[in-house]
Structure 1
Amino acid sequence: MSYQPQTLFDLSNRVAVVTGGGTGIGLSIAQGLAASGAKVYITGRRLDVLKKTADSWNEQHSVGKIVPLQMDVTDKESITSGKKLIEEQEGKIHVLVNNAGQVGPTSPFLGDPSAPQLKDAETLGQALFDNETFGQWADLYRINTFSLFFVTTAFLGLLDKGSQDTPGYTSVVINVTSISGVIKVAQEHFAYNSAKAAASHLTKMLATEFALKKVKVRVNAIAPGVYASEMTHDYISPEQVDKVGKGLQPVPAARAGTGQEMAGTAIYLASLSGGYMNGQEIIIDGGYTSVNPSVV
């Protein structure tokens, strides 16, 4: 067995799907998988963004390939259409990255000690009650949690076929969750944090049920800390890190995570190197959860 990095992390002849792959964290992961040799379908609602991203990569790189695919992860018909197209083109996939997500409703006054909404329990409760709606919460859970279940189950058969390629290799689902799902402060958005916590637990349930049902598909999660994304306007200076993180204590690394760090973690999980990893959530946060109250 070779211990050369070129072998350990080689994704040649692998087919991957990355939802929300046109920008931010999803793009970093897609580029990392492609750079390791994979053919990567990036999905999203905005086809123009996906095409621009794919064209840019394919013009500049001879390794791997990025293919744009318009797909709405909150719509079963759209998911089915995306699956059908990939099934016709590839017959199987090896990696599914459920990355698509959004922030949802926020309550900024939670982070302002002088805010009038914090006057007393009645005032705080009413402010939170009035500031958000059932519809906003439902919309957020639809993309941040529900989509993981429906996209994964739709592509499960194709993932299982991908597991039959190479002895010792097992296809993998990688859910991009967040430290917001394990941190015990709301960070000014109860909905987002609870939806990410649900996504973390869903990851473990899927991994367990597939294993018990003898389905050869692993399910893991990556929980990023503060990383540049569309949600954070694609760049975070060291001075902005703690404003974005909204923790009780500063991020020990004193910087945001990099695209390379995100991609490297995904490559590990997707390659032969990570083949023994199943049902786990890898937290990459610069030490954030080590100094802030969390469930880990």
Structure 2
Amino acid sequence: MTNLFDLTGKKAVIAGASSGIGVQFTEMLAGQGADVAILARRYDKLVAVAEEIGAKYPERRIIPIQCDVRQEDEIIEAVRKVMEAFGQIDILLNNAGVVDAVPIEALEEEAWDRVLDTDLKGVFLMSKHVIRHMKERKYGKIINTASMLGLTASASVPTHSYNAAKGGVIHLTRGVAATYAKHGITVNAIGPSLFRSEMTENTLFTEQALKMYNAVCPMGRPGNPGELNGAVLYFASDASSYTTGQTLFVDGGWTII
């Protein structure tokens, strides 16, 4: 029987891979057979990630490339480097993200722009410059990291700019999926709830926020490391060949209540 989840020979790009779930996704894709180009602003961290995962999977190529997804010129150069190294891009995972926890009356325009530019515009720009290569080959898998907070709000933590950005990611996913389905490209999103990461440590993992989260979430806990991997692998593999425009909420049941 064919292994639908085998990624042998596939070439992947992960934007936002210097820490947290981006590192987990890199290791998972490499473990399934893909070569991976990892992008982020902090090149030193990318190098460390590439060395660590490369040591576990020496047959895989893990290439660190410095890139700020808010800057189109940097994305153009990063995509050029990936194409030079790999010759193709089969999988794009838009995972770069930041969050602010500031009430709207105190939210500065600069802070708003930082979140929207990273979490939403970054998805647009990365997709824009990768999808052209996918279209030529009539094959591609784009996975966007959205959030349950793109569908719901938080009463304990004011994440207004993040809500707006992730809500935009969910609908951008639908729109791009509808346009490019006929070109053999699927576009889907994952919607995590609360997972511990560098980004959430001091905002959504506070004692007050965690207490409320555990009380409301049907599973009564945040997500554990690795519990997003299955959703990403499904969308990255040929198992999802007839699935596009969807957001899969990996949230312990939060969005069903």
Residue type of the alignment partner of 1:269: F
Separation in structure 1 between the aligned mates of residue 85 and residue 19 of structure 2, nearest angstrom: 24
Choose from 45, 50, 59 the match for 1:49. 45
Once the two structures are superposed, the pairs formed by residues 251-290 of structure 1 within 5 Å of their partners are: 251-290=217-256
Partner of 2:79: 83
What corresponds to 1:191 in structure 2?
161
The SS at the match of 1:8 is coil
Alpha-carbon separation, structure 2, partners of 1:258 and 1:65: 27
Larger Rg: 1
Whether the aligned pair in 2 keeps the contact of 1:36 and 1:64 (CA below 8 Å) is no
- 1:31-56 per-residue CA deviation (whole Å, 9 max, x = no partner) reads 11111000011100010000001101
Report SS of the residue matched to 1:89: helix
1:215 and 1:74 map into 2 onto residues whose CA distance is: 27
- 8 Å contact kept, 1:57–1:65: no
Matches within 5 A, 1:14-93: 14-62=10-58, 64-93=60-89
| One-letter amino acid of the structure 2 residue matched with residue 205 of structure 1 | G
**TM-score of the two chains, using structure 2 as the length reference:** 0.91
The one-letter code of the counterpart of 1:193 is N
Equivalent position SS for 2:216: coil
Query: 2:200 aligned to 222, 225, 232, which one?
Result: 232
Q: 2:216 matched to 1:250?
A: yes
CA drift of 1:64 comes to: 3.3
What TM-score, normalized by structure 1, do the two folds share? 0.80
State the AA in 1 paired with 2:56: Q
Where do 5+ consecutive residues of structure 1 fail to align? 108-127, 164-169, 292-296
Q: Distance in 1 between matches of 2:236 and 2:189?
A: 11
Q: Are the aligned partners of 2:190 and 2:248 in contact in 1 as well (CA < 8 Å)? A: yes
Local SS of the residue matching 1:259 = coil
Q: CA deviation at 1:246?
A: 5.1
CA offset at residue 81 of structure 1? 0.4
Residue 258 of structure 1, CA deviation? 2.5
| CA RMSD, Structure 1 to Structure 2 (Å) | 2.3
State the SS of the aligned residue for 2:199: helix
The answer as to whether partners of 1:9 and 1:268 remain within 8 angstroms in 2 is: yes
Q: CA deviation at 1:19?
A: 0.6
Query: How far, CA to CA, are the matches of 1:252 and 1:268 in structure 2?
Result: 24
State the identity %.
Answer: 30
- Structure 2 unpaired stretches of 5+: none
Structure-2 change in CA distance of 1:204 and 1:104 (3 Å): same
Partner of 2:4: 8
Partner of 2:96, secondary structure, is: coil
Question: Residues 99-150 of structure 1: CA distance to partner in whole angstroms, max 9, x if unpaired?
Answer: 001002523xxxxxxxxxxxxxxxxxxxx42x11222212211011111111
- Superposed displacement of residue 194, structure 1: 1.4
Contact 1:18 / 1:96 at 8 angstroms: preserved in 2? yes
